[in-house]
Amino acid sequence: MAAEVQEQSAPLSKVDSAIDDAPASPGESKPRHRRTSSTVSGVFNINDLEKEGVELKIAPETQRLNWKVNSSPATIEEKDVLHKLLCHPPIKKIDLHFPLGLEVTARNMKGVTIKDACDAIYKQFKKKADDELENPYLAGFEWDREECYTKFIVHQKKTGDAPSGGSGKKKKAKGGEEA
């Protein structure tokens, strides 16, 4: 009977994963991370970009949104802008830091878009009344490589610009004397 037990266990060549953590062969090793199907090539982790010293460029469209942070991003007039990437090269997630200390995170495995950033901000401010917000309009984002590579600083302003098809040069001309 002992010979039968030996014969039955002899053909088993695979290693039991509960006993030994080493794979039976290099081709059979299991990935120890998320499924690769959910990641997109060309979209980076911001920490990897920091190690490589890559320069990020924030989409200039974020400065012209004229969006009130306690209203849904669906109210933004230029819908096509929402689908643009927030920065180049595209990243999977970014922390958005407000000057008073609040921080929100925008995530998208296919690359964070302007809409993703607006959604993350809106989630924090949707229950605030207009009179509770000192600066209710989004003025844009700033990336300060030296202060913190992995965060964008959120800038806000008191009033939204009047809807216009201009490039914003009039605003600079008015404020040029004060600055």
Give per-residue pLDDT as tens, 53-70: 999 999 999 999 999 999
Beta carbons of 78 and 110 less than 8 angstroms apart: no
The pLDDT value given to residue 46:
93
Helices (H), the chain: 2-9, 46-52, 79-82, 114-125, 169-175
Tell me which residues of the chain have a pLDDT lower than 50: 164-179
The pLDDT value given to residue 150:
93
Q: Is residue 149 classed exposed, middle or buried when 0-12, 13-18 and 19+ CB atoms within 10 A define those classes? A: middle
Write down the residue that tokens 């607006």 correspond to. 118
Triad 73, 59, 96: Cα angle to 5° = 60
44 backbone φψ class: left, alpha, beta (φ>0; ψ -120 to 50): beta
